[in-house]
Amino acid sequence: MISTRLRPFIGTNWADRLVRGTARFTFATTELIFVSAVMQMELALPMAYYFHRATTLGLPANLVVVPVIQLMIPAAVTALVLGSVALWAAKIPAMLTTAALAVINGTVHGLGGLRLADLRVAMPSTLLIVLAIASLIFVIWTSRKRALLAVIGLTVLLLTSLALALLHSKIRMRPGSLEVTSIDVGEGDSSLLVTPEGRTLLIDAGGPIGPGGSQLDFGEDVVSPYLWTRDISQLDAVAITHGHSDPSAE
């Protein structure tokens, strides 16, 4: 019907091509959004368990990165093949590959710099882990069943992924006891105190060892994972004894 209305203005061939092209683009975009959303929901459990993060901006990132990768891979292969014959012939596909990499890198860094992208989550409870695994198995089983079952499976998977990102359990502690935990951060010190009332105090959080520094981020790679495994998402107080690295003993 739309093609018929457009034919008097742009001709039969162009009208048919425009309608078909628009429909294909719409279906392809919808499929990309749908597949990307399902992938992010499936990754919710491993991301929460291993990295204590929720992939809040994975979907918009994929909408940019995935189509660009489809351009980058053929361009890179073409540049490699032509470059083995003549370097000048590989310049154009090499430029396309470079541009694609720049877009991917800019998208990841741009979205990754947003505060929403760094949504930290605590260690999921055993019950939530079991429910997440069960929902994943259920959605796989219902994917080739009737449409209603498939929708139910996807809904369960969505609710489970939201629970992994938003639900927080209570701090794992011993009620009525004063806890003092020394966190291994190498030569530096890092101690966690939990009062009988459940108040938390972190004293120091490690840091670079010696003047040469270290590639290991002790706060990100050591202290934070321990706090998240205890379901500690917020500290009542942090005490920093000194903000410089101690010189190594000779």
pLDDT tens, residue by residue, 13-69 = 888 888 889 999 899 888 878 888 888 888 888 888 888 888 777 778 888 888 899
Which residues neighbour 225 within 8 Å (Cβ) at sequence distance 6 or greater?
52
Q: What is the pTM of this model?
A: 0.64
CB neighbourhood size of 79 (10 A): 21
Structure tokens at 80: 């490699």
What span, in angstroms and rounded, lies between the C-alpha atoms of 242 and 244?
Answer: 6
CA atoms of 19 and 21, how far apart (whole Å) = 5
* Contact yes or no for 239/204 (Cβ under 8 A): yes
Q: Counting Cβ atoms within 10 Å, is residue 185 exposed (0-12), middle (13-18) or buried (19+)?
A: buried
Task: With cut-offs at 50, 70 and 90, classify the pLDDT of residue 134.
Answer: very high
Per residue in 145-197, pLDDT (tens digit) is 888 888 898 899 889 988 888 877 666 777 778 888 888 887 778 889 988 88
